[in-house]
Amino acid sequence: MVCLGNICRSPLAEGILKSKVSEAIFIDSAGTAAYHVGNLPDVRSIEVALKHGIDISQQRARKFTEKDFDDFDLIYAMDQSNYQDIIALSRTKEDRQKAQLILNEINTNANQDVPDPYYGEDNGFENVYQMLDEACEVIASKIQ
Ligand code: 4NP
């Protein structure tokens, strides 16, 4: 699960998908930017996850690297900018085939973005939660 800062959207996506699949499936998140490396998720993401019974407070932000193409089978970008940044780090066609926009799991080929809630109102986080919950339900049914 990849967003820009790895403190708002992708930590939620990680927590939500983990809540829907076996612990045997390794799920992680990262950011394409390094601004927040080592930080906890944004308190607004922690709170909206807790409201839905999910604890993401143990997560720490890290930066997406090309090694992630070796470590993961599927790489979900939260928005088109993150997707382009991931593709820029890819080395092969196989790398590129692992990356996709997460909301395309709900609306195929619509190329919709999960809106960045960082500078917005608190209800932006609930909105993001609902989108990610729907997408993760589809992902879980595919990979479980
Ligand atoms: P995220 O949100 O990509 O969903 O983690 C953001 C977090 C921080 C910043 C931008 C987006 N920032 O500019 O610091």
Residue 122 reports pLDDT greater than 80:
no
Determine the angle formed by the axes of helices 9-20 and 123-143, rounding to 10 degrees. Answer: 40
Q: Compute the residue count for the chain.
A: 144
Confidence of residue 25 (pLDDT cuts 50, 70, 90): very high
In the chain, what are the domains? Answer: 2-143 (3.40.50.2300)
pTM surpassing 0.85?
yes
Give residues (CB < 6 A) around ligand 1.
3-9, 31, 35, 116, 118
**Ligand 1: which residue has its CA nearest to atom 10?**
5
Structural contact between residues 30 and 5, judged by C-beta atoms closer than 8 angstroms:
no
The span from the CA of 5 to the CA of 31, in Å, is 5
Determine the angle formed by the axes of helices 43-51 and 9-20, rounding to 10 degrees. Answer: 30
The span from the CA of 144 to the CA of 141, in Å, is 6
* Mean pLDDT score across all residues of the chain: 97
Q: How far is the CA of 94 from the centre of ligand 1 (A)?
A: 28
**Ligand 1: which residue has its CA nearest to atom 3?**
4
The pLDDT, as a whole number, for residue 121 is 81
Query: What mean pLDDT do residues 45-49 have?
Result: 98
The two tokens of residue 80 are 């088109």
